[in-house]
């Protein structure tokens, strides 16, 4: 089974999110792919309710929801995100990476304490 157009759209959108830094660090490519596949099917009319529940659980596990981010102790640096948006308006080619916008609360990223 190949990738659908919707799956390609979701894949691109998700890997632009700040959480993608941690997914890459934790080697969660397969987990993101499973989420994308399940979400694209769950969006279809008549999809099973259980699939919607699974998608919500996967979103939590990937830090895509507020409760998920809380349980993972992740937060998005809003100031960095606002700066990124301002820079994007001024110079569309220059923008901070997802890594610059991502922080772990009371944790360690790449060996440096926050």
Between the ranges 61-70, 75-84, 86-95, 97-106, where is the mean pLDDT highest?
61-70
Query: Domain segments of the chain: what residues?
Result: 5-75
According to the model, what pLDDT value does residue 2 have? 86
Residue 45: how many other CB atoms lie within 10 Å: 4
Beta carbons within 10 angstroms of residue 4's beta carbon? 13
* The CA-based dihedral angle spanning residues 33, 34, 40, 43, taken in that order and rounded to the nearest 10 degrees: -140
Return the sign of the alpha-carbon dihedral for residues 14, 63, 111, 28: negative
**pLDDT for the residue 22:** 92
What is the pTM (predicted TM-score) of this model?
0.69
Q: For residue 89, what pLDDT is reported?
A: 74
More confident residue, 87 or 43: 43
């Amino acid at each position: 089974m190949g990738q659908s157009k919707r799956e390609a759209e979701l894949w691109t959108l998700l890997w632009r999110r700040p959480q993608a830094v941690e997914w890459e660090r934790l080697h969660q490519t397969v987990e993101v792919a499973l989420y994308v596949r399940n979400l694209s099917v769950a969006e279809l009319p008549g999809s099973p309710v259980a699939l919607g529940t699974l998608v919500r659980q996967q979103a939590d596990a990937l830090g895509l929801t507020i409760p998920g981010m809380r349980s993972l102790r992740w937060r998005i640096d809003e100031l960095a995100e606002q700066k990124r948006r301002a820079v994007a308006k001024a110079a569309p080619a220059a923008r901070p990476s997802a890594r610059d916008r991502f922080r772990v609360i009371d944790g360690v990223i790449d060996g440096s304490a926050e």
